[in-house]
Amino acid sequence: HRQSGDYVRWRMIENSEGKLVPQSNARFVRWSDGSMTMHVGSEVLDATVADFEGSRNQLFAREIKGGDVVQCQGVLRNKFV
């Protein structure tokens, strides 16, 4: 059983300049020894960066209102493991 605070959540909020920016309950911390951890709620996880095999991995997003529109957001070169 996982606590509800241990899921990665995000939402769009308006900043002090009136622009929409993402806000999340997850944070990445890079330590002085070069290691990284991901903090989600009260849970702390080791985060290691690995290269994708090849360079054909891309991130696509479907437009919420249009439904049939899919737009490439970029090429993925690394992943967290």
* DSSP tag of 67: S
- pLDDT value, residue 3: 55
Instruction: Please give the structure tokens belonging to residue 65.
Output: 């209102």
Q: Please name the residue ranges forming H helices in the chain.
A: none
Can you read off the two tokens belonging to residue 6?
Answer: 């241990």
Cα separations in angstroms, 10 against 7, 50, 54: 10, 24, 29
Please write the tens of the pLDDT for every residue from 20-78: 999 999 999 999 999 999 999 888 989 988 888 776 788 888 777 766 788 888 888 88
Specify the pLDDT at position 4. 52
